[in-house]
Structure 1
């Protein structure tokens, strides 16, 4: 790991007396989901139903906002709209001022449930569009119109593919685990910090590996509580060296590309029963170790495709 070509980590820093995250903070408000995507990196298909409480969210964000700031506070799950107290949580998130913007990330299937108060409080709604969600173009257009009504940006991204993430087989290949950690954009570039039930984690995967891996490595999170050195302790935690213990069951952002599809609860867990070596895209791994700005090629903003489609229709109309 002394190769000078290896790209450096993007660390949290201190500015204006607060920890500044590389990018965003994920606020997990529900573990469960209404679909069961293969290789879901929050393990939603196999976890028990759980919803964040209003009280704990209020306590945690109030405490964290005193010492921490991010670009966007992303509210997600599982499927966040399964939490019956979602609007109250959105209001708390907005009032906390912890992020420059507050975004709801959803598969869109239950977005009709969101009240006008929720729409008003949000800066952005990110719809992750999957073939299995069966969202129609008319429904997406209706959401975009509602976004304009409430001055809330609505972005739609299509995910025809996922990348493999989890393995239930704990790896003893230390060199491979270190390479996966070095290449992981979630941990080292995007700063995918995740807040769940009063505990902050360096990545969402580290929360859920205990749901399927036959090992006991303890909680890898930072429990938020009032303490004299909270900011110093939290910064040291976020910028600590890796790999994490949970990295032995994860391929980070370098997994092989697979078609997005739904699985049953039983087959979802069985699908993880393969070694890390069989799940890694080694070409991507080597590239990611030395390049920081690698685009998420599983995500396609739907807006661009539709604009091109409309432009093509206009061009055809001129040629007739």
Structure 2
């Protein structure tokens, strides 16, 4: 059974300090510390934010903090090592908030553009065949793992103990498939495009499986933008500017895909074909939204995760704060 209990803030201090990559805070300045995972869907958006300085153009003093682990931004928020994470795993944020970490979700940012796949020559035909199998996906604590567990249990009766979760990043999971170290995997659609030579069969998408589970047309989110409550209270004018800068980046990326690819090749060392594949799906894998339907979807995700024993705890009533998003709409 996968659960995501919060570890006390003090226990993260040394770990988080080591993750800050030597970033030095400018003297006499109070920058907003923006953290993100340098893999998955957050890599491309973070690279563009940094390269094009969209947040600085909105008058913000920004210190970017990069992490190698998908769950590290959430831990850094808990440790007060960063102020804002634009693509934190939704499931981990739910767990941290339920444990009392003072967080506010202010955006829904990464829809679950993920597919279950198996090697083309595998006897596995449907998701129901994953019982007792080794399934590669993002580590426990990630939203990919939480959604995968929820839909397998809800649609096919396969509980978390009925399959072996093999963790890894996208490149590692693709390698596992090739080497037959896993029987199936949950991979982002952009990854499947990037590794077109990987011979796989599609077993189902997160979107379709979620719609089947919820009997709705909603698409689940794997990533959300989160700010520490104390930072938001002290800088209520800055968070709307940050959201406006993210919206600028979203639109720019949609209009300048070749430039997005060039940034990824330069800053993330991606091969040209992989960078092009990411840029082509820019508008499918990134969002800057917090409308009522987004909040309703996130609340439903939480309830499904709890009902399936994927995570534990009730959400604080003030976790979803729409005021920065609303204020950002008036910023031109």
TM-score by length of 2: 0.28
Structure number with higher relative contact order (C-alpha < 8 Å, ≥ 6 residues apart): 2
TM-score by length of 1: 0.28
Bigger radius of gyration among the two? 1
Q: Give the number of the structure whose residues are more often helix, by fraction.
A: 2
